[in-house]
Amino acid sequence: MTDLKGKTALITGSVQGIGLEIARAMARAGAAIAVHGLADARQAAQACEALAEAGAPETRFFGHDLSDPVAAGRLVREAAEWRAIDILVNNAGIQQTAPLAEMPLDTFQRILAVNLTAAFATMQAALPAMAQRGYGRVINIASVHGLVASIDKAPYVASKFGLVGISRVAALEYAAVGSRETGGVTVNCICPGWTETAIIEPQIVARAALHGGDRAAGVADLLSEKQPSRRTSDPAEIGALALWLCAPIAHNVTGAAIPIDGGWTSQ
């Protein structure tokens, strides 16, 4: 297991789903966790308690609204006042589906603000300090929709393609920082396909309605259309890859967009 003792990870959108499982994996490896999300006090406390039980020596909750890019940058600065940020995971994201011609402009702009602009702001705030220490990891949770498109997802696809692109720029700018021994500074994307999270639930419900309300049939319908393995991913599987990317041995893995998609993007 990657040893993250003495390190701190800031993970956006980490009170549930993929973000929480990434946080749990890093907590098990000994990292302190800056937890983030739009959550009430009870949900925030539950997430922090779960991560402490997993092994995090310290946790602290931050509730910044990432639809405001100024707040996104402030999130990093305030977390860094608590503990130096060694690992930044931009996981928070939103989605709304509609045909391009019917997508409200304000919805388009809000999805880009949360999924893309916030990641720019957090990276801009976090990377210089990582470079000074010779070690840092930025892991941006993109999507298969950062690699291929689907109908009715114009803002989501735009945001995720943009996230992959900006990650590659940052990877190039920081590629020469540090060494094999320190671990260097790397910037990568993980691109999940269908994963068991709340963000895909509206699509499952819509597909289930086509099958008389049968949820299992709705899931099967989604998978048959895109994901050749016919299996969803568990969020913990995303966490395991994120943890490996934090290891010093991954010092030369940078600028990558790694799919976990059951073959979706191989078609």
Q: What is the CA radius of gyration of the chain?
A: 18
Residue 189 and residue 76: Cα distance in Å, rounded? 19
Contact between 35 and 250 under an 8 Å Cβ cutoff? The reply is: no
Active site amino acids: 156
Residue 1 inside a domain? The answer is no
pTM of the model: 0.94
Q: Are residues 71 and 146 in the same domain?
A: yes
Residue 204 lies in a domain: yes
**Locate tokens 């996981």: which residue?**
91
Q: For the segment 219-238, what is each residue's pLDDT rounded down to a tens digit? A: 888 888 899 998 889 999 99
Domain for residue 150, yes or no? yes
Do residue 180 and residue 109 come from a single domain? yes
**Same domain, residue pair 114 and 156:** yes
For residues 226 and 173, membership in a common domain is answered with: no
pLDDT (tens place) for every residue of the chain, 267 residues total: 589 999 999 999 999 999 999 999 999 999 999 999 999 999 999 999 999 999 999 999 999 999 999 999 999 999 999 999 999 999 999 999 999 999 999 999 999 999 999 999 999 999 999 999 999 999 999 999 999 999 999 999 999 999 999 999 999 999 999 999 999 999 999 999 999 887 778 888 888 999 999 988 888 888 888 999 988 899 999 999 999 999 999 999 999 999 999 999 999
Tell me the CATH number at 47: 3.40.50.720
Token digits of residue 198:
């709340």
Domain that holds residue 211: 197-232
Residues 114 and 219 occupy one common structural domain = no
